[in-house]
């Protein structure tokens, strides 16, 4: 068993996911609350890694990270000539590759929070930051769990991008998927079997646990993220109490619906 590869993989997944949560949270908040061309374009960019072949991402990253690339200057600050074929380079690659798997669940869960809760919070005196920390974050908690698990698991399974920008340096860029590939290439079937089975079991257990914990289907981007159980039962409760006034109100609410795009910042 290639323990070095396993610990490196876990480290890569953990570091990447934490960075992704840090970057992804404000990005998802912005995406969830705004509308317009800019949002669509950014949304598309974020989603691109889902459909692009990893080799394409890897190729562009390679150009970016190479000694002649734009990030070479940054690399020099770290005492490196290039980020390519380094752990840092892998982290950068993973962050881009797994971005949609972290951002999308967060966007979904932010968007699922009823807008009027933020307005009510504002009328109760909550500043924009307080509305984010006191209302948005706690209500989006299930989304964060899903985002973490998906980001983590997806980084574990990364292969193409690593191959392109990382190579196969033990302890630096040789992650499990690369190790398995090499074992198969060199006909070490037994070793490949062990590692593959480990990966399979790990992925299965992680997803099963998440599934049981959150009852979410972690099968793709269209996650049915709900704001919370409480919200669910509340809406059930509402449905069970139809009132004559509902018809009136629906029509009125439709007409009077606030311009939500951009209203959040303007309130501040």
* Binding site residues, another protein, CB under 8 A: 35, 114, 116-117, 119-128, 130, 134-135, 138-139, 227-231, 233-234, 237-238, 241, 243, 245-246, 248-249, 251-261, 263, 266-268
Q: Secondary structure of the chain: what % helix, strand, coil (to 5)? A: 75, 0, 25
Shortest Å, Cβ 31 to another protein: 15
Provide, rounded to whole angstroms, the least separation between the CB of residue 96 and another protein: 30
Query: Given the complex with another protein, which of 193 and 238 has the nearer CB atom?
Result: 238
Return the number of the residue (71 or 139) whose C-beta is nearest another protein.
Answer: 139
In this structure, what is the dihedral angle of CA atoms 198, 199, 203, 204, given to the nearest 10 degrees? -40
Count of Cβ atoms closer than 10 Å to residue 57 Cβ? 19
> In terms of CB distance, is 186 or 267 closer to another protein?
267
User: Least CB distance from residue 255 to another protein, whole Å?
Assistant: 4
Minimum distance of another protein from residue 266's CB (angstroms)? 4
Would the CA dihedral through 96, 159, 148, 109 be positive or negative? Answer: positive
Between 85 and 216, CB nearer to another protein: 216
The 10 Å Cβ neighbour count of residue 35 is 12
The number of CA neighbours under 13 Å toward the Cβ of 39 is: 12
Query: Which is closer to another protein, CB of 25 or CB of 227?
Result: 227
**CA dihedral of residues 129, 131, 136, 137 (deg, nearest 10):** 50
CB of 168 to another protein, least distance (A): 47
- CB neighbour class for 113 (10 Å; exposed up to 12, middle 13-18, buried from 19): buried
CB 224, min distance to another protein, A: 17
45: its two tokens:
């960019």
Least separation in angstroms between CB 209 and another protein? 23
* DSSP reduced 3-state for 107: helix
Query: CB of residue 113 vs another protein: minimum separation in angstroms?
Result: 9
Cα 136 from Cα 147, distance rounded (Å): 15
d(CA 188, CA 179): 11
How many angstroms separate the Cα of 258 from the Cα of each of 109, 114, 262? 21, 13, 10
């Amino acid at each position: 068993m290639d323990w070095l590869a396993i610990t490196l993989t876990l480290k890569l997944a953990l570091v990447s996911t934490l960075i992704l949560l840090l970057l992804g949270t404000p990005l998802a908040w912005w995406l969830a609350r705004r509308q317009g061309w800019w949002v669509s374009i950014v949304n598309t960019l974020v989603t691109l890694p889902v459909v692009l072949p990893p080799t394409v991402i890897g190729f562009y990253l390679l150009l970016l990270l190479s000694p002649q690339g734009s990030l070479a200057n940054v690399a020099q600050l770290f005492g490196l000539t290039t980020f390519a074929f380094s752990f840092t380079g892998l982290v950068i690659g993973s962050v881009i590759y797994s971005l949609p798997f972290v951002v999308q669940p967060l966007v979904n869960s932010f968007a699922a929070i009823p807008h009027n809760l933020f307005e009510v919070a504002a009328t109760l005196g909550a500043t924009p930051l307080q509305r984010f920390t006191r209302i948005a974050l706690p209500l989006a908690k299930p989304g964060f769990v899903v985002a973490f698990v998906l980001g983590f698991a997806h980084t574990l399974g990364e292969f193409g991008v690593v191959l392109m920008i990382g190579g196969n340096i033990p302890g630096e860029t040789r992650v499990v998927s690369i190790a398995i590939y090499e074992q198969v290439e060199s006909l070490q079937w037994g070793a490949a079997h062990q590692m593959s089975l480990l990966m399979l079991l790990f992925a299965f257990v992680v997803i099963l646990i998440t599934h049981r914990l959150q009852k979410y289907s972690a099968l793709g981007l269209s996650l049915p993220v709900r704001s919370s159980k409480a919200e669910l039962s509340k809406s059930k409760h509402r449905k069970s109490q139809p009132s004559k006034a509902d018809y009136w109100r629906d029509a009125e609410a439709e007409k009077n619906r606030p311009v939500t795009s951009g209203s959040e910042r303007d309130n501040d």
